[in-house]
Amino acid sequence: MKWLKSLMIIAAFRGLASADTIHIPEDYPSIQLGLYAASSGDTILVAPGTYNGFVWSGIMLMDIHILGAGAFGDSVSTLVNDGSIYLDDAHGWEIAGFEITGCYTGIYTEYCSDLDIHHNYIHNLNESHSYATLIEFCDDLYIHHNVFAYISYVAVRLTGVENVVYYNNDVMYTLWHHGFLIDDNHYGLQIINNIIAFNDDDGIQFVVSQGDAILNYNDNYGNGSNWNNCSPGIGCISSDPQFTGSPACQYTLRRSSPCIDAGDPAYPLDPDGTRCDIGAYYFVQAPPPIEDVTIAVSSPNILLDWNDVPNATIYHIYRSTEPYFDIIGMTPIGSSTNSEYEDVNVLSGGCYYYRVSWE
């Protein structure tokens, strides 16, 4: 009788929500309740905040899009503690834009097909035998632009998969074992354009054999061993990826990173129009300009101030007595980690022109 009453309440809430888009927590307080109310093809938009995970098993629900507000920065949708995502027999689903932390397994899928899992940050899973993603008996999965870091056991474990593609992910800092562990038979597996670094044991391990798996254009670096029972494919490198450590997203690349323009040339270009990079976050080679530079005199020094550039970690200041000068080949007069600088080496009566760059 209690079960029937619960169904009636859910149906009543469903009438209040949009037929196409469900908002969490505006329409329902949890993602799970939003799923109960969804129909095939619906989108569930999750606002910034902290939530429990969700489970779907055994009931046909096609083409569901569950989209968080983001995995890094100021607008983050976080799944914590029991925040694991479990999908059984889900088809055509999209999961994106979540931070997942503090649970046993980040995303666990079995008997699923045609999933698109991207732009998530799964980290600090400290339970014994934790996994960022555990994929069993699934086909046609696309898992890309995710960061998996500080997983206690294995970041990516695959069992009985077919046509699963992992591309442009960061798979790092597993504390006990492997970045990738492929247990048994697999067909059409592709591991491309990933940074696989600083894992305690193997970067990639195949238990049976590599088979027809394609392992191209990965940066496999600093693992206990980079390759186990498999071989690097075309375009693979083994170099420090050089992350910025920026508070906005510590896994963006420095300008000197060997992963820039080193991805598979057959893949789509990065949004800045250049060859795709290796890793989850590309390096912007067409940077936004520094705007609203103001100059003030505070005798005997000159004060410069400008608008912050998102993701900038350091600014370089150049000075010349000529109004139109090129900074190529020049040495900056100084640097700043925030959007201001005081030039203390000026002469009274001098005329100075400034340019500011960032990285």
Give the model's pLDDT for residue 8: 28
Percentage with pLDDT > 70 across the chain = 94
Burial class for 157, CB neighbours closer than 10 Å (0-12, 13-18, 19+)? buried
Per-residue pLDDT tens digits for 221-235: 999 999 999 999 999
DSSP string for residues in 215-279: EES-EEESSSEEEESS---TT-B-S---B---SS-TTSBPTT-TTTT-S-TTSPPPTTSSPPPSS
Note if the pTM is more than 0.85. Answer: no
Output 51 or 293, whichever has higher pLDDT: 51
The answer on pLDDT for 19 being more than 60 is: no
Poorest-pLDDT segment among 35-39, 153-157, 330-334: 330-334
Average confidence (pLDDT) over 231-244: 96
The domains of the chain, with CATH numbers, are 18-228 (2.160.20.10), 294-358 (2.60.40.10)
Judge whether 315 and 336 are in contact, CB under 8 Å: yes
Dist. CA 124–CA 205, nearest whole Å: 22
Poorest-pLDDT segment among 33-42, 78-87, 130-139: 78-87
Confidence of residue 172 (pLDDT cuts 50, 70, 90): very high
Give the model's pLDDT for residue 144: 97
Dist. CA 307–CA 281, nearest whole Å: 23
Per-residue pLDDT tens digits for 20-55: 899 999 999 999 999 999 999 999 999 999 999 999
Q: Provide the token pair at 289.
A: 């300009």
Give the model's pLDDT for residue 287: 67
Torsion of CA 134, 140, 144, 147, to 10 degrees: 0
Per-residue pLDDT tens digits for 344-355: 888 877 788 888
Burial class for 245, CB neighbours closer than 10 Å (0-12, 13-18, 19+)? exposed
Per-residue pLDDT tens digits for 5-15: 223 223 333 33
Average confidence (pLDDT) over 122-141: 93
Average pLDDT, the chain: 89
Please report which helix (H) or strand (E) contains residue 22, including its range: strand 21-24
Confidence of residue 327 (pLDDT cuts 50, 70, 90): confident
Output 312 or 45, whichever has higher pLDDT: 45
Give the model's pLDDT for residue 331: 87
Per-residue pLDDT tens digits for 60-71: 899 999 999 999
Per-residue pLDDT tens digits for 255-281: 899 999 999 999 999 988 899 999 999
| Distance (Å) of CA 87 to CA 95, 133, 318 | 11, 11, 54
Phi and psi torsions of 16, nearest 5° = -85, -20
Judge whether 140 and 166 are in contact, CB under 8 Å: no
Output 212 or 176, whichever has higher pLDDT: 212
Percentage with pLDDT > 90 across the chain = 69
Poorest-pLDDT segment among 1-5, 32-36, 166-170: 1-5
